[in-house]
Amino acid sequence: MLFHTSYFILHTSYFMTFPTIISLGGSLVAPDGIDLAFIRTFRELVLGEVKAGKRFIITVGGGKVCRRYQAAASELGVVHQEALDWIGIRVLSLNAELIRAIFGESAHQKVIIEPPELRTASKPVVIFGAKAPGHSTDFDAVEAARETGARKVVNLSNIDFVYDKDPRKFPDAKKTERATWKEFRAIIPPPEKWSPGLNSPFDPIAAKRAEELSLEVVIMNGNNLKNLEDYLEGKAFKGTVIK
């Protein structure tokens, strides 16, 4: 099993090129407390790319804080997956509102939760997701691609590459720089095993959907934002490409 410590033409009058879809891991936004340094640098990078004419749709995860609340609920006797999912959604929503707010006038005026609304958003930065149980941040990113015709999704987490097992525990863990969807899905849990707070480099349900849509997903370490900048500018970068 792989390990993970846990958008594009809307219409021709809006976009002339595809915006970038980013699935932003909650572990980057709030690994424990709020990571102000990361958020400031991420904002500067995105706004710099916006000045160059690029646009973004960003989904934001809940990270460790989300899993803490879900674990606490489980210990207190909450057993229904939908209830645990709603807890996660509220954490996701808080993170999403924070990321939307930091972009000020460059961001759409609200967090969008309905995919069709992506077609009418006119700001260069759009925050999307956290609608209902059963949808991870990764799945929302894939849905944004489906809705808008984007062909690529960038997944920012806290790993440099996809590994066949946890490299922190297994010295012989092998990294993968390029993989087909068939190869990738063979070493993550099957879609029916998805559960709230699941640790996986990319949500299995989202992976299945991404394969159906023939999307390219790039998984990289969001803590290295220069690496993200290199990717956005078409330079060599470090990460795993799945397609």
> Is pLDDT of 50 > 50?
yes
CA–CA dist 83, 95 (Å, integer): 19
| pLDDT for position 1 | 40
For the chain, what is the mean pLDDT? 88
| pLDDT for position 212 | 96
Give the chain's end-to-end CA distance (angstroms, integer): 19
| pLDDT for position 4 | 42
Q: What are the E-state strand segments in 39-128? A: 56-60, 125-127
Q: Is 20-242 assigned to CATH 3.40.1160.10? A: yes
In 3-state terms the chain splits into helix, strand, coil percentages (rounded to 5) of 40, 15, 45
Q: What is the pLDDT of residues 154-212, one digit of tens each?
A: 999 988 999 888 787 888 989 999 999 999 998 888 876 666 556 678 889 999 999 99
Q: Is 5 exposed, middle or buried (0-12, 13-18, 19+ CB in 10 A)?
A: middle
Domain definitions of the chain by residue range: 20-242
**What strands lie across the sheet with 125-127, from one edge to the other?**
125-127, 56-60, 20-24, 152-157, 216-221, 240-242, 178-179
**DSSP-derived 3-state class of residue 84:** helix
Q: What is the pLDDT of residues 94-147, one digit of tens each?
A: 999 999 999 999 999 999 999 999 988 999 999 998 777 877 889 999 999 999
